[in-house]
């Protein structure tokens, strides 16, 4: 199984719009609170299989939705990832995914 990723969008409006688009395209995802390790702001994010990142970027971009940040989850000890690991940013420095 691929690791899971989290996508952060600009607002809850875009999260809800993205959810409709992803459901219509039958792309597996969940809407989850933004993990505290990523941001202390209250908000929601899209949780998805990291193998779908490029497709998710393409689909949302076609609909005018910008991904502000994407992060790979730290996994768990049973996945061979040490406890205390942090989310890993999949953006390139300050470059945003669009």
Compute CA 74 distance to the chain's CA centroid, rounded to the nearest angstrom: 13
pLDDT band of residue 83 (cuts 50, 70, 90) is very low
pLDDT digits (tens, 9 = 90+) for 27-70: 999 999 998 888 877 799 999 999 999 999 999 999 999 999 99
φ, ψ at 65 (rounded to 5°) = -105, 125
Q: What is the spatial distance between Cα 36 and Cα 38, in angstroms, rounded to a whole number?
A: 5
pLDDT of residue 20 exceeding 80, the answer is yes
Which domains are seen in the chain, by residue range?
A: 4-74 (3.30.70.2250)
Compute CA 27 distance to the chain's CA centroid, rounded to the nearest angstrom: 13
pLDDT at 92: 54
pLDDT at 75: 66
- Provide the mean pLDDT of the chain: 83
In eight-state DSSP terms, residue 3 is P
């Amino acid at each position: 199984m691929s690791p899971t990723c989290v996508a952060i969008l600009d607002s809850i409006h875009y999260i809800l719009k993205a959810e409709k688009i992803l459901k219509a395209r039958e792309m597996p995802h969940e809407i989850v609170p933004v993990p505290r390790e990523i941001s202390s702001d209250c908000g929601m994010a899209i949780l998805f299989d990291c193998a779908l990142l490029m497709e998710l970027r393409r689909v949302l971009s076609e609909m005018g939705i910008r991904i502000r940040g994407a992060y790979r989850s730290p996994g768990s000890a049973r996945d061979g990832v040490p406890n205390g690991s942090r989310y890993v940013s999949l953006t390139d420095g300050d470059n945003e995914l669009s």
